[in-house]
Structure 1
Amino acid sequence: MINQGNEDDELSLSSSTLDALKQFYAERDARAEQFAKLQAQAEEQHAASQAQSKPLSIEAFTEDWNESQFWYSDETASFLAKQLLDGTTAGMTIAVVSAPSVFVALKNILSTASPDGAKPKLVLLEHDNRFAIFPEFVFYDFNQPLKLPAHLKGTCDRIVCDPPFLNEHCQTKAAITVKWLSKPPSAEEGKNQQQPRLIVCTGERMEGIVTRLYRSFGLRTTDYDPVHARGLSNEFYCYANFESVGWGWRASRQGKQGAGVRQPTEG
């Protein structure tokens, strides 16, 4: 009888130990699963941060000469982007009209900015649907200058425009779009509010037409010469309505503007 009791105690102890072991392994497996999830999450976040830190490249979009696409050099695109960003706040909107290489430069600059810093809203008006991969893309055809989402009217504080063709028709249509996008003075600030900061890049031959179309903006010819990545035979000018340490004012050459010439210019 004594031996039988000892065997019962041993069997009882073994059952308790087994239960404890089962609980231990269950908790260990649960912790391992939790760690694996955290590790996967960390790796995903790291991959996402790496992807964000890798600069976008306009070279991913092959120029289409039939669409008058000539991208700016990285230096020019970055320079123009910085002029637009200077002094912006989170409540501002920058519109990029037919100048996708400047848009890419803006995206790159903003992606490296401090997370706590004020970032303006971007909107890209562009005819090339390849750029629809960006959420800021809005399809734009200069032949229908006001066929745009109604919520964009009068919302833009900074605008850069590079009309795709060197003729008066295209320049005029683009100017209609720019004026429609431009934020009007508020009732409080009235005449004391400055015009939206505007940059127009187009051919030298368009100087007279451009300065006339944007007379109300106070647009003038700068001495900054935009450079295209693959060169461009047309002499290209940068026009603006604000001063910058990056440029001075060029003497007017309005007498040299030519009649409309269909040549590739879009940046």
Structure 2
Amino acid sequence: MDNDDEDRIVLSGNALAALQDFYNQRDKDLEAFEQLTSEGSNRQITSISTFKEDWNASQFWVKPPVVGVDNANLQQFTDATARLLAEQLVQGSTSETSIAVVSAPSVFVQLKNLLATGKYPTPARICLFEYDERFGILGDFVKFDFNKPTNLPPDLRNVFDRILCDPPYHSTECILKYAETVEWLWKGRSEGTCCESRRVICTGQTMKDVVLEAFAGMKQDPFEPEHTARLDNKYACFADFELQR
């Protein structure tokens, strides 16, 4: 027997069956998403669970955190948390309000659901800034890479009255880059604006000092966002207004 045969890893029957099940489910998920894409805007998406995770992009909707990784926002918000956060963006809004959701597709889904009820004015503009292009099916999508904080369409600069972002990693570098993006997108505060300006940042409690220094006027809100799976790191919400329950 040569060394190659000795080093070759042989899976057990159970492991092979589990691997085949995984590939079968992956194929089914891909087929379902392709069907969803073909339906386009005619299909109302009510939950982030419609989208299957892309593990290569560090997306884990319902899986436990990855061992050895600072998981930050590898999990997505529960529908209840996403809805409450989306409500903060539409409460007191007007038809002149512009709303930006950055790296929080679950919140954007719930924002769309709230606007579909007709209970809130149709905003002048809403945008989802996100790296994963699959979310383009939601409409109002802008490709965004936080490593290039202001590499965005010029006509979106200083446009948005209300901004929510959920940085994907618990690191000073990541938070500072998102602060740069928010500052670039934000219309700012001035007298005579169409509605109350609002900014919301969701990230780990460990990043509190960095957030409060990077985002002027922010305070930690008592609200604690919940995720679809348990996170080892306590999550926190920061805002320049008091969240309404």
State the TM-score, normalized to the length of structure 1. 0.66
> Measured at CA, do residues 152 and 72 of structure 1 come closer, stay the same or move farther in structure 2, by a change above 3 Å?
same
- Displacement, 1:196? 2.7
Partner of 1:71: 76
Is the CA contact (8 Å cut-off) linking 1:225 and 1:237 kept in structure 2?
Answer: yes
Q: What secondary structure, in the 3-state scheme, does the structure 1 residue paired with 2:201 have?
A: strand
State how 1:84-99 maps to structure 2 within 5 Å: 84-99=89-104
Partner of 2:220: 221
* 2:142 maps to 1:138: yes
Residue type of the partner of 2:221? T
> Runs of 5+ in structure 2 lacking a partner?
1-38, 60-74
Q: What secondary structure, in the 3-state scheme, does the structure 2 residue paired with 1:237 have?
A: strand
Partner of 1:206: 207
Partner of 2:49: 59
> Runs of 5+ in structure 1 lacking a partner?
1-47, 247-267
Is the CA contact (8 Å cut-off) linking 2:221 and 2:243 kept in structure 1?
Answer: no
Q: What secondary structure, in the 3-state scheme, does the structure 2 residue paired with 1:199 have?
A: strand
How many Å separate the matches in 1 of 2:55 and 2:218? 29
State how 1:149-160 maps to structure 2 within 5 Å: 149-160=153-164
Is the CA contact (8 Å cut-off) linking 2:93 and 2:196 kept in structure 1?
Answer: no
- Displacement, 1:71? 1.2
Is the CA contact (8 Å cut-off) linking 2:161 and 2:195 kept in structure 1?
Answer: no
* 2:110 maps to 1:124: no
Higher helix share: 1
Structure 1 runs, 4 residues or longer, greater than 6 Å off: 192-195
- Displacement, 1:132? 1.4
* 2:172 maps to 1:173: no
Q: What secondary structure, in the 3-state scheme, does the structure 2 residue paired with 1:156 have?
A: coil
> Measured at CA, do residues 194 and 220 of structure 1 come closer, stay the same or move farther in structure 2, by a change above 3 Å?
farther
Q: Identity, % of aligned pairs?
A: 44
Residue type of the partner of 1:95? A
Q: Over residues 165-187 of structure 1, what are the superposed CA-to-partner deviations in whole Å (9 max), with x where a residue is unaligned?
A: 1101111111100000000345x
> How many aligned residue pairs are there?
189
Q: CA RMSD in A?
A: 2.2
> Measured at CA, do residues 208 and 81 of structure 1 come closer, stay the same or move farther in structure 2, by a change above 3 Å?
same
> Is the radius of gyration larger for structure 1 or structure 2?
1
How many Å separate the matches in 2 of 1:129 and 1:242? 31
Is the CA contact (8 Å cut-off) linking 1:185 and 1:193 kept in structure 2?
Answer: no
Partner of 1:106: 111
